[in-house]
Amino acid sequence: MKSSFLLFSAAVIGSAFVASPALAEEKDGQGWYGTAGIGFVAPNNPTGDECQMILASNVCVDYDFSFDTGLSGEIGVGYDFGQFRIEGTYVRNNTSMNNISTDGSVDNVKYATFSTDVNDGNANLNSFMVNGYIDFDTKSKFVPYLGGGIGYTNVNFSSYNVKVSGYEVESGEGSANTFGYQAKAGISYLASDNIDIFGEATFFGTTGFSIETANVDGVTSWGARGGVRYRF
């Protein structure tokens, strides 16, 4: 699934850059615009693992993280060619961890499993994206579109508290830089010559990353945003 979204995003962006000037001239609304949107993000549960040598034994822990639904926002600037658009945007996704499940093993022999609620565990993803879109002309004020983007993402996990065997344990905090990607499907309403109002469904993901000695698989999420474009 991840590969399909990456290929889709790359194809859309490539189409935007090679858009025919003749085709662009057939549609009004060409030029620069600003865009801003806000909505929600619902992360899928990422997994991770961590292994260390302790007293000549290979001790490993496998993690399953569970996150709450959080807030998502995107702001940036773009250029409309008529049928194709390109954008540079900043995306911020905020969520919080609510549960963590672990399996522990020593030299590949499983020895412990526990699941516990998490207190004060926040996760923030800050991304800088290059996006491309295809607009479908319906000869009306309603314009459906498909889009996707790729870019750089910084993942930041705060410290969090869990209870293990009756003891309160606080994790360390950490961050990592990784590759981010997104895909969108939405519809715009052409409210005026200068203002578009839009709503869109989103899929956002990252590749895997490491924080200190822990390896975390890519974080993915579904969501939705509503927003406004202002044409200069």
User: What are the residue boundaries of the structural domains of the chain, listed by start?
Assistant: 2-231
pLDDT of residue 119: 64
List b or e across 175-200, with b for residues whose CB sees 16 or more CB atoms inside 10 angstroms.
Answer: ebebbbbbbbebebebeeeeebebeb
CATH topology of domain 2-231: Porin (2.40.160)
State how far the Cα of 29 lies from the Cα of 34, in Å rounded to an integer: 13
pLDDT of residue 13: 45
pLDDT of residue 55: 72
State how far the Cα of 147 lies from the Cα of 135, in Å rounded to an integer: 9
Q: Which two tokens stand for residue 58?
A: 């290979």
Residues with pLDDT less than 70, the chain: 1-29, 51-52, 54, 58, 103-105, 108-121, 159-173, 213
The whole-model pTM stands at 0.75
State how far the Cα of 198 lies from the Cα of 186, in Å rounded to an integer: 7
Q: Which two tokens stand for residue 118?
A: 């998490």
Please, are residues 88 and 30 in contact by the beta-carbon 8 Å criterion?
A: no
